[in-house]
Amino acid sequence: MTPICGTDCNSLLAPVNFDKCNPTVLLSEIRRIFVASQGAASFADWTNATEWTTRISESNSSINAIRPLTVIADKPAASPVTAAISNGRTVVIRKDHTINWTIDDVSEVNYAFFRSVIECGGNVKIWYETEGGYLYGGNDGVDPAKMLGDDLLPRGVDQFETIAGTITWKDKFSPERVLSPIFDSDFSQPTT
């Protein structure tokens, strides 16, 4: 749901809630990115674990299948795009968002995904989940999103291969978030 912005300089501010004795502090690293085709259907209720488990699959060929990627990732501050308008005012038109991701499980199947999805254009929709237990993306996911990456082979006998890159999108607002209904789910085994 898109936030409702104030309509004038006298609009009321949204409430806040700071707890002196028990503040909410959340782990922030992105641990999983869920990738779907841009043609995949939206969720009826993305907070429903059953709806997720029926769509998440490492191998199902349905257009609505969602691929779970185990990653090490972060999302730095989005870059605002502003415009100067009349009377010396400035407005934020949108923000450019980026997720920096790394896959360190470079199996033959994951390498083929990289080559066929990411290197073929990487136009996808995504949701992402943090170590703090939150899922981001809403019913529709972050759509459109652009997933780019490369296969990295660093020098050194103790180094290992990774696939790493970015996911970018443009939106004025950050994605919706909820406590992840699938946080403890393990999707590492192929499902049909």
CATH code of 83's domain: 2.30.110
- What's the pLDDT at 191? 44
Q: How far apart are CA 104 and CA 166, in angstroms?
A: 15
pLDDT digits (tens, 9 = 90+) for 64-77: 999 999 999 999 99
Q: CA-CA distance, 2 to 82, in Å (whole number)?
A: 19
The per-residue pLDDT for range 74-99, each reduced to its tens digit, is 999 999 999 999 999 999 999 999 99
Using one digit for the tens of pLDDT, what is the confidence trace for 138-167? 999 999 999 999 999 999 999 999 999 999
pLDDT at residue 190 above 50?
A: no
Flag whether 13 is in a domain. Answer: no
In a domain, 108, yes or no: yes
Between CA 62 and CA 60 the distance in angstroms is 6
Is 185 part of a structural domain of the chain?
no
Rounded-to-integer distance, Cα 181 and Cα 59, Å = 22
* Residue 26: pLDDT band with limits 50, 70, 90: very high
Average pLDDT over residues 107-114: 97
Q: Determine the pLDDT at residue 186.
A: 79
Give domain status of residue 121, yes or no.
yes
- Average pLDDT of every residue of the chain: 94
99 residue type, one letter = I
Please indicate, yes or no, if residue 16 is contained in any of the structural domains.
Answer: no
In a domain, 114, yes or no: yes
Nearest partner of 138 among 59, 67, 54, 47, judged by Cα: 47
Q: What are the pLDDT digits (tens) for 119-139?
A: 999 999 999 999 999 999 999
| Residues of the chain above pLDDT 90, percent | 87
Distance CA 25, CA 28 (A): 9
List residues bridging with 91 in a β-sheet.
83
User: Residue 165 domain-assigned?
Assistant: yes
List of E strands, 105-176: 123-130, 134-136, 142-152, 162-171
Question: Which domain does 37 fall in, by range?
Answer: 30-179
**What pLDDT score was predicted for residue 78?**
98
Specify if 24 maps to a domain.
no
Domain count, the chain: 1
Model confidence, pTM: 0.92
